[in-house]
Amino acid sequence: MVSWRPTASLQSLQQRAKILADIRQFLAKRGILEIEVPLLSAAGGTDLNIELLKIEGEDRWLASSPEFPLKRLVAAGYGDVYALQKVFRKGESGRRHNSEFTMLEWYRVGFDEFQLMDEVEALCQAVFNMPAATQVSYRKLFIDSVNLDPFTINDTELAAVGAGLSGLDPTALARDGWLDVIFSHAIEPELDAPVFIFDFPASQSALAKITNRDYGQVAQRFELVYQGVELANGYFELTDGEEQRQRFERELALRAHQKKAVVAMDEHLIAALNSAMPSCAGVAMGVDRICMLAAATQTLSEVISFDDNNA
């Protein structure tokens, strides 16, 4: 029998509609402008952890994030902006994933990552009554949770810990891969109370600035985890176009080596960064996950009208 009914209840979708309205009201009160940005682009994100969806027969990719066009708007002098829209990622289906999902992303000129953490917390408290969050560095979290220093442990010992948790071969992953395994298996599931994690290893900088701490270089970025669920990923944004080009080139080379889809580098973004990109911070949040936590449900399918299995 064909399953045609929605996966979410009417009550869940009514609550979702209120959450979307409350998000827009919160950002509007702070003078942040909502802008619609393209869902199709000739360039795509280069993040190794994201599989992109391509339009068949065209050199166009479905947006995995509104990040690049929003940054171009900031560089063009549009000030504080946000997008609240669908994004797409190949192969992301499951209890907390759907290949088509709703993302909130916004940028604040003159903010650093710590100021933006405060604003993210305020939004979460206003929209779904999230309790007060703590803040902890990536290094301290690893030391306190699994008794290892992610900045000083050698690769062999790190791989042994990761392999023990996951059952993978110790040669299967590089250093950052094992850190992700340890985080996802032994740390993140235990983070029930809301916590902002900051100062990630510089090798995980993505599009964030890098700075020095007394124990090494760190990426000026953060994640918000609540009830074992990652809700937000934010950066004190890199504003150097040539540095961004070098990072793109490294990521594209790794994508090719791993036989992942190789996309065109976003020259528009690089030009914008080189033109007049002001100091700013930006954050992306998974709206479906916010709705899931607000409704106290266990799966995303319970808060979206039709999931991947019956869309």
Distance of CA 43 to the CA centre of its chain: 18
Can you give the pLDDT at residue 76?
Answer: 98
Please report, rounded to a whole number, the percentage of residues in the chain having pLDDT higher than 90: 78
| CA–CA separation, 77 and 97 (whole Å) | 34
Query: The tokens of 176 are what?
Result: 């950052």
Higher pLDDT, 220 or 62: 220
Residue 90 and residue 150: Cα distance in Å, rounded? 30
* Residue 254 amino acid letter: L
Question: Domain boundaries in the chain?
Answer: 10-133+193-302
**Which pLDDT tens digit goes with each residue over 120-147?**
999 999 999 999 999 999 999 999 999 9
Using alpha carbons, select from 91, 95, 197 the residue that is nearest to residue 144. Answer: 197
Q: How far is CA 93 from CA 54, 61, 90, 255, in A?
A: 17, 19, 8, 21
Residue 259 pLDDT grade (very low, low, confident, very high; cuts 50, 70, 90): confident
Supply the mean pLDDT for the chain: 93
pLDDT digits (tens, 9 = 90+) for 141-185: 999 999 999 999 999 999 999 999 999 998 989 999 999 999 999
pLDDT at 58: 64
Q: Mapping DSSP to helix (H, G, I), strand (E, B) and coil, where does residue 142 land?
A: helix
Please answer whether residues 282 and 237 qualify as being in contact, where contact means their C-beta atoms are separated by less than 8 angstroms.
Answer: yes
- Which residues make Cβ contacts (< 8 Å) with residue 22, sequence separation at least 6? 126, 127
Q: Over the stretch 8-35, which tens digit does the pLDDT of each residue have?
A: 999 999 999 999 999 999 999 999 999 9
10-133+193-302: CATH, from 3.30.1280.10, 3.40.190.120, 3.30.930.10, 3.40.47.10: 3.30.930.10
pTM recorded for the entire structure: 0.93
Please compute the mean of the pLDDT values over residues 235-239 and round it to a whole number: 98
pLDDT at residue 169, rounded to an integer:
93
Which among 296, 283, 292 is positioned nearest to 94, based on CA atoms? 292
User: Higher pLDDT residue, 64 or 256?
Assistant: 64
The average pLDDT across 208-221 equals 98
- Residue 12: per-residue pLDDT: 97
